[in-house]
């Protein structure tokens, strides 16, 4: 089962892949919604990841990680995506829509839920549908007590998705290594108050 081996190998290197490895051990290598199938991101997904990282929506709202070719994309998957992100598609044989997942982020005391679609799949309710099952999995299967999310203040589509899946705006924060401000959302206002970012 290659997706599980990737998580075991990350864990052996001392990296945090425990949530996804636990999913593998318990057989949770796939999450499903009415329209979507979520599976782990693997190096074989490099062509799609390269396209996603060049998408105007990604570049405007997330970052440019400097991934320019398939080799870069494979390395980016190994280093950044394979331990926590899910590839989202209508089904296993169709082209992927985007990647969603939980990220451990410096300055945040709880996992950060995130999602990104190719622009041509926007406005179809996919992010809301996929993030809903991911949130349920995080809280009721993995046992996380609080889930956070950060997004750029002007990212109205992302903020709307967070509200639709039940997160609430907590405050504006600045995180270590970032000079910009983010809006911070949480599943539980009281317990998330310890987030280390500099509140404004």
| In the complex, least distance from residue 195 CB atom to ligand COA, rounded to whole angstroms | 16
> Which of 73/99 has CB closer to ligand COA?
99
Nearest to 23 by CA among 127, 113, 131, 143: 143
| In the complex, least distance from residue 128 CB atom to ligand COA, rounded to whole angstroms | 3
| In the complex, least distance from residue 21 CB atom to ligand COA, rounded to whole angstroms | 25
Q: How do 148-151 and 96-103 pair as beta strands?
A: unpaired
> Which of 6/127 has CB closer to ligand COA?
127
Contacting residues toward ligand COA, per CB under 6 A: 57-58, 61-62, 98, 114-117, 122-128, 151, 155-158, 160-161
Residue 168 structure tokens: 């609430």
> Which of 58/86 has CB closer to ligand COA?
58
> Which of 6/101 has CB closer to ligand COA?
101
Question: Angle of helix 156-164 relative to helix 126-136, nearest 10 degrees?
Answer: 50
| In the complex, least distance from residue 139 CB atom to ligand COA, rounded to whole angstroms | 19
> Which of 7/100 has CB closer to ligand COA?
100
| In the complex, least distance from residue 36 CB atom to ligand COA, rounded to whole angstroms | 10
Q: Give 175-182 contacts, CB < 8 A, sequence gap 24+.
A: 175/105, 175/106, 175/107, 175/108, 175/150, 176/106, 176/107, 177/106, 180/152, 181/153, 182/150, 182/151, 182/152, 182/153
> Which of 82/158 has CB closer to ligand COA?
158
| In the complex, least distance from residue 26 CB atom to ligand COA, rounded to whole angstroms | 28
In the β-sheet with 85-89, what is the strand arrangement from edge to edge? 30-32, 37-40, 85-89, 96-103, 112-117, 148-151, 182-186, 168-173
Burial class (CB in 10 A: 0-12, 13-18, 19+), 28: middle
């Amino acid at each position: 089962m290659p997706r599980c081996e990737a998580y075991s190998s990350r864990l052996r290197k001392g990296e945090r892949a425990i949530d996804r490895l636990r999913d593998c051990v318990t057989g949770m290598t796939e999450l499903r919604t009415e329209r979507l199938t979520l599976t782990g991101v693997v190096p074989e997904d490099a062509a799609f990841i390269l396209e996603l990282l060049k998408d105007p929506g990604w570049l405007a709202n997330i970052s440019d990680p400097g991934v320019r070719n398939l080799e870069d994309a494979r390395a980016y998957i190994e280093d950044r995506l394979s331990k926590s992100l899910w590839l989202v598609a209508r089904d296993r044989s169709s082209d992927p829509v985007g990647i969603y997942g939980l990220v451990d982020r410096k300055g945040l005391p709880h996992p950060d839920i995130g999602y990104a679609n190719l622009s041509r799949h926007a406005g179809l309710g996919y992010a809301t549908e996929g993030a809903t099952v991911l949130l349920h999995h995080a809280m009721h299967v993995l046992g996380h007590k609080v889930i956070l999310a950060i997004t750029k203040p002007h990212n109205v589509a992302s903020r709307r998705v967070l509200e639709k899946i039940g997160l609430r705006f907590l405050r504006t924060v600045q995180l270590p290594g970032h000079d910009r401000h983010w809006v911070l959302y949480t599943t539980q206002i009281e317990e998330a108050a310890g987030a280390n970012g500099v509140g404004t």
